[in-house]
Amino acid sequence: MSAPRILIIGPPGAGKGTQSANIAEAYGVDHITTGDALRGNKDMDISDMDTEYDTPREYMEAGDLVPDEVVNAIVDEALSQADGFVLDGYPRNLDQAKELEEMTDLDVILSLDVSREELIDRLTGRRVCDDCGTNFHVEFDQPEEEGVCDECGGDLIQRDDDNRESVENRLDVFEENTKPVIDHYDGDDSFVAIDGEQTPDDVWADIQDAIDAHVE
Ligand code: AP5
């Protein structure tokens, strides 16, 4: 099998990060995630880019999109260094989708579908390891010891944008900007819709079937 070029797309909380970790490990590809890249550079000075705010932080905490110029550059750089990859969090609007078409081809596009009510429950209950980034959930995926990561012993924190107000806005931003990207890809030979409301193991099984069917 050649190194697969995989796009995973879906609303906030659909399980993109959770399943991308499985894909990266099982298929030996890079996990390219604009969300993590931006969280690691929240206070980067972007004032020379003629943007409303001077850093990504303000956009992210409100749940709004960071300007395209910033994210396009992050993805272009990461893709230029990757052999195979799973791309998570990009493209989020049609202009970003056009940019991506200039940067690379895709072998498979995995679209995770989850209802809005379930997404709100998942995101407001999510806890993330401050050190290694592993996801937990206060109800659905509890750590053995409260507040402590099972993988590395790090502190579990709540993301700044996982409060109810930001979550509602992120879901509205998704409907307005990213849903049209999914509609644009739907019908493509490489497009596979996955029921993201199944258990994580069942979602993972469907993802493996989809990748194996599309990558030689
Ligand atoms: P980003 O970090 O990409 O966040 P997101 O898209 O909102 O996605 P999440 O990470 O919240 O959810 P996920 O789908 O990865 O779900 P997860 O696996 O964690 O982006 C953050 C911000 O950065 C944006 O708002 C924007 O400001 C900016 N940004 C990023 N990319 C950008 C771009 N291209 N352009 C402009 N701005 C950009 O799962 C969620 C929870 O559910 C976890 O607790 C998990 O344990 C649980 N869970 C997962 N799967 C299941 C399951 N099957 N059943 C039950 N629970 C499950």
CB 170 within 8 A of CB 63: yes
Task: Tell me how far apart the alpha carbons of residues 142 and 121 are, in angstroms, rounded to a whole number.
Answer: 14
CB 93 within 8 A of CB 68: yes
Nearest CA residue ID for atom 41, ligand 1: 122
pLDDT category of residue 207 using cuts at 50, 70 and 90? very high
pLDDT at 206: 98
* Alpha-carbon distances of 113 from 76, 139, 159, rounded to whole Å: 27, 21, 22
pLDDT at 48: 87
pLDDT at 140: 86
DSSP state of 175: I
- 71: buried, middle or exposed (CB in 10 Å: 19+, 13-18, 0-12)? buried
Give the ranges where 104-185 is alpha helix by DSSP (H): 116-124, 164-173, 179-185
Q: Average pLDDT, whole number, for the chain?
A: 95
Give me ligand 1 centre to Cα 16, in Å. 6
Q: Which residue out of 118, 122, 173 has the highest number of ligand 1 atoms within 8 Å of its CB and is therefore the one to mutate?
A: 122
CB neighbours (10 Å) of residue 184? 14
Mean pLDDT, rounded, for 15-35: 96
Quick: pLDDT tens for 74-132.
999 999 999 999 999 999 999 999 999 999 999 999 999 999 999 999 999 999 999 99
Among candidate residues 35, 16, 9, 207, the one with its CA nearest the CA of residue 94: 9
Q: Which two tokens stand for residue 6?
A: 């995989």
Quick: pLDDT tens for 119-171.
999 999 999 999 999 999 999 889 999 999 999 999 999 999 999 999 999 99
As a whole-number percent, the residues of the chain with pLDDT over 70 amount to: 100
Nearest CA residue ID for atom 27, ligand 1: 60
Pocket of ligand 1 (CB under 6 A): 10, 12-18, 34-35, 38, 59-60, 63-66, 71, 89-90, 92, 96, 122-123, 126, 135, 137, 140-141, 161, 170, 199-200, 203
Give me ligand 1 centre to Cα 182, in Å. 16
Ramachandran angles phi, psi of 156, nearest 5°: -95, 130
pLDDT at 50: 82
Domains of the chain: residue spans and CATH:
5-29+83-115+171-214 (3.40.50.300)
Ramachandran angles phi, psi of 113, nearest 5°: -115, 125
pLDDT at 95: 98
Residue 164 annotated among the catalytic residues of the structure: no
Q: Which two tokens stand for residue 46?
A: 């972007």
Task: Tell me how far apart the alpha carbons of residues 10 and 120 are, in angstroms, rounded to a whole number.
Answer: 14
pLDDT at 184 over 80: yes
